[in-house]
Structure 1
Amino acid sequence: MKVSGKKAQSRRAIIAAFCEVVIERGYARATLLETARRAEVDNNAIFRLFPNKRALVFAYYTEKLHEVRELLLDTEAYHQYPLEERLTAFFETLLVLHRPNREFIQHSSAVARYSPLGALSGHLQVKAAARELFDELIIEATDIDEFADHRLFRHLPALLTEFLHQLFVFWMLDESPGYEQSTKAVYVGVRAVLNTLQDRHPLDGISRDSIPQPPVLASAMNMRRLLRSLLLSGVVRDGEEEPT
């Protein structure tokens, strides 16, 4: 959801207040009325924007996607970045924005237990927002000619959206100082994606020291799994050659 002006400010204030309430009370005891009070908005206003807590949880994730986009567009000379640097900056900035709300993310993960179908719908909404942003990033990139004719290039937004999900799972389990293992995961994941589009081995040019640890988590970044998931989901249409 893209909004602007006063409505956008209210939306962000509500999301920030909800994070506070969930951290203090847990997801089960958090209420929209308490959220409205802390955000200093009318009770009717919060229900117009968010019919339930589940909607607020997924609004948090989509809002962070748009926040990182705004930050990147404000970065000096960002429009001159090659695609690899754009993607790396996107993932790293997104993780930094999530850091203050790590506890909220842990608490709000309970939404799937309370409403599995609603959670599925919310996940699909977040993935759609991520794919839209990746589409924009790729279109705006100034140095993508080397990928333009690759059979998987048009599926790059789907690949990156899947990688984002895997990276987020990795980050939530990362206990390294400064989340340095997640930083490694960003580098390896982006490089692996671009290597794949250049018909190179996913880990070509990536040193062993750059691979995030422990290996069981690093395996989540395996490009063969990502490509296979695309095939199984029907992203690569019939008649196209299956990646090996």
Structure 2
Amino acid sequence: MTDLATGPTTAGTALLTAAGDGVDRHLSDLLVLGANGVPTCYLADPGAAHAAGSDPVLYTGHRDILPPTRALGAEWFADLCTYRPGHLPGGELNRSIGHWNTPAQLEVFEILSGRVLMITAWHSPSGTPVLNWQACGPGDLVAVPFGAWHQTSVLDGPAVVFNIYTDLPGTEQQHTSRHAAQHAETKYRSSAPVEVTAIRSGTGFTLTGSRRGRGHWGRGVQAVEPTWLREAVGPDGLVALHTSASAEHLSRLADAARTHLPTAQPRPEGERR
């Protein structure tokens, strides 16, 4: 079990005052079935969710919260998510839907307020399954490995999370990250979810999952913010980096990510729809 802690709200939450209306994600979005009738999202207790009798908002996504920035021959996009506090029926932490990133996608998050748990999973080039989790508070940064799966759970909410993403050139892929962001069928339903999630445990949380999920992915390893990521983003944070639209600065981030971020091997057929 890992204890929870709280942190102060940062000045970056001022973005929310200019956010306007976003897209609400509800409990029912976690219960969607794919075309083959298989759940597109793993839940710790799907029976409790189906029997809840209500459909609360879990989080609100604000697409393109800042204008896109062009650098390195690509568009860089910025989003913001506001997560509600609490837990799902059955004790699972309130959470995002979770999805696989595209192989060329560079995505970096900064927590602006509240605390969240970032769970990431991928297969190394040798085929070894890797499951990481990182508990994050205000100002913390997370970079998702290329082609990895990730899910955000709320430790202390409301939580506000800012992210930027782009597709770095040089990797062939069927869909771009922008296409996935704009099409739920591609982003959430084209590949089987990782069957691991987090549940409330006393004042903290534990990772749990299906027998198949835990047997394959294991217990998970705690991750920390890497030094290279902080150095690449800079002391002013991710919002300032995107707003400055400095091609030189974004190039340093891209170069550092190529050097240090793991790259997932293509997902096995059993993990695709």
Question: TM bucket by the smaller chain?
Answer: under 0.3
Relative to its length, the structure with more strand (as a share) is 2
Between Structure 1 and Structure 2, whose CA radius of gyration is higher? 1
Q: Which has the higher contact order (CA 8 A, sep 6+)?
A: 2
Relative to its length, the structure with more helix (as a share) is 1
* TM-score normalised by length of structure 2: 0.20
